[in-house]
C-alpha cells in the first residue's frame, strides 16, 4: 500500500460512525449485511448510512455486491490487511515478525461466496446461433453479476460451427456452449429465472413455457443466421452485424440501474431494448 492510499484509509476511519460501521461489518464477516440492516443496527438514517459506506468503499476498506434487489456491504479483508501491513512492515527495523501477532490479526481474504445477482435465460428456436451468441456475450460482459443460460424450443444437436468459430475468433471461451431444450429450465429442480429474453421473430416456434412469476420477459427479435445465404464473406459480415447488435443491447442491459427500478420499470426498459435497430442487411432465406 502506498502512503497516499494509507492516508486516505485513515482519513475515512477518522469518523467515529465509520469505525462503528466497519466493526459491525467485521462482525458479520465476508457475507456482509444489507444497507438497511446496517442503518437499523447503528440507528442511522439511510442517506447517512449510504454516505459513510461510500467513503469506506472509496478507501478500499469495504466492498458492495448486488443480490437481487439488495446491495450487500462487506469488509474488504485484503484492504484492511494491507493497511495493517503498512503500519507494521517497518516495525523492529524491518522485522515485523518480532512484533508478536500483529501479522496474524486477520484471516486471509476468503474466496467470494456471493451468488450471481441475476439469472438470465436467452431463447431461440434451435439454441444454435442467436441465443448462443447472447449467452457468450453476457458471460463476458456481466462477469459474476449474472448467471447466464440459453435454450431452444427445438434444440439442435450442437451449436452452429460457424457461430462457434466466429465467437472463438472474437475471443470468447466456447468450451461450455451447447444446445439445450427450454424444458431443462422448467420444473421444480430448475434455476429460478430473473430475466427470460427471446431472440426469434414472434411467429418462429411455439409459445414459451412458464418460467415462474418473478421473471421479467423480453423479446428482442433478430434474424436467424441459419437462413443467411451468400458468400462466406457476406455471411461473416452478417454474423458480425448480428453480434454487434446483441452486444449493444447487452451493454445497455447491464448498465440498467436495477436497484432503483421496480418490476414494471424493468419490463419497460427490456421492451425498449428490443426496439433497437435490427441488422440493416438481410440475405434472402437459403
Architecture of domain 118-274: 3-Layer(aba) Sandwich (3.40)
Quote the pLDDT of residue 187. Answer: 75
In terms of C-beta distances under 8 Å and separation of at least 24 residues, what long-range contacts does 74-78 make, across chains too?
74/25, 74/28, 74/29, 74/30, 74/31, 74/32, 74/33, 75/22, 75/25, 75/26, 75/28, 75/29, 75/30, 75/32, 76/109, 77/30, 77/106, 77/107, 77/108, 77/109, 77/110, 78/109
| Confidence category of residue 155, pLDDT binned at 50, 70, 90 | very high
Question: In the chain, pLDDT over 90 holds for what percent of residues?
Answer: 25
Burial of 166 (0-12, 13-18, 19+ CB in 10 A): buried
Question: Which of residues 238 and 277 earns the better pLDDT score?
Answer: 238
Architecture of domain 3-104: Orthogonal Bundle (1.10)
Quote the pLDDT of residue 277. Answer: 58
Tens of pLDDT along 166-205?
999 999 989 889 999 988 888 777 888 899 999 986 545 5
| Confidence category of residue 285, pLDDT binned at 50, 70, 90 | very low
| Confidence category of residue 251, pLDDT binned at 50, 70, 90 | very high
For 71-75, 194-198, 208-212, which range has the lowest pLDDT when averaged over its residues? 208-212
Please report, for the chain, the start and end positions of each structural domain, with discontinuous segments joined by +: 3-104, 118-274
Is residue 258 scored above 50 in pLDDT?
yes
In terms of C-beta distances under 8 Å and separation of at least 24 residues, what long-range contacts does 57-64 make, across chains too?
58/8, 58/12, 59/8, 59/9, 59/11, 59/12, 59/13, 60/5, 60/8, 60/9, 61/9, 61/12, 61/13, 61/22, 62/22, 62/25
Is residue 283 scored above 60 in pLDDT?
no
For 140-149, 186-195, 217-226, which range has the lowest pLDDT when averaged over its residues? 186-195
Report whether 145 contacts 114 (CB < 8 A). Answer: no
| Confidence category of residue 250, pLDDT binned at 50, 70, 90 | very high
| Confidence category of residue 259, pLDDT binned at 50, 70, 90 | confident
Is residue 64 scored above 90 in pLDDT?
no
Amino acid at each position: 500500500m502506498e502512503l497516499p492510499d494509507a492516508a486516505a484509509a485513515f482519513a475515512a476511519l477518522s469518523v467515529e460512525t465509520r469505525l462503528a460501521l466497519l466493526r459491525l461489518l467485521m462482525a458479520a464477516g465476508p457475507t456482509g449485511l444489507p444497507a438497511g440492516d446496517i442503518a437499523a443496527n447503528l440507528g442511522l438514517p439511510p442517506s447517512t448510512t449510504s454516505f459513510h459506506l461510500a467513503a469506506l468503499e472509496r478507501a478500499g476498506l469495504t466492498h458492495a455486491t448486488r443480490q437481487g434487489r439488495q446491495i450487500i456491504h462487506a469488509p474488504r479483508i485484503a484492504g484492511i490487511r494491507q493497511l495493517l501491513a503498512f503500519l507494521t512492515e517497518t516495525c523492529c527495523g524491518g522485522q515485523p515478525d518480532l512484533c508478536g501477532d500483529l501479522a496474524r490479526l486477520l484471516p486471509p481474504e476468503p474466496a467470494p461466496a456471493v451468488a450471481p445477482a441475476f439469472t438470465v435465460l436467452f431463447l431461440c428456436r434451435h439454441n444454435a446461433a442467436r441465443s448462443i451468441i447472447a449467452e457468450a456475450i453476457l458471460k463476458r460482459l456481466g462477469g459474476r453479476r449474472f448467471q447466464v443460460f440459453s435454450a431452444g424450443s427445438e434444440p439442435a444437436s450442437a451449436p452452429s460451427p460457424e457461430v462457434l468459430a466466429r465467437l472463438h475468433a472474437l475471443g470468447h471461451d466456447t468450451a461450455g456452449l451447447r444446445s439445450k431444450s427450454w424444458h431443462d429450465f422448467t420444473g421444480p429442480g430448475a434455476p429460478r429465472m430473473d430475466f427470460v429474453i427471446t431472440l426469434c421473430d414472434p411467429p418462429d416456434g411455439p409459445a414459451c413455457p412458464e418460467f415462474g412469476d418473478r421473471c421479467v420477459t423480453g423479446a428482442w427479435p433478430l434474424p436467424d443466421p441459419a437462413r443467411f445465404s451468400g458468400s462466406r464473406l457476406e455471411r461473416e459480415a452478417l454474423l458480425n452485424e448480428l453480434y454487434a447488435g446483441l452486444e449493444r443491447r447487452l451493454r445497455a442491459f447491464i448498465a440498467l440501474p436495477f436497484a432503483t427500478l421496480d418490476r414494471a420499470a424493468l419490463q419497460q426498459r427490456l421492451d425498449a431494448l428490443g426496439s433497437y435497430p435490427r441488422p440493416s442487411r438481410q440475405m434472402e432465406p437459403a
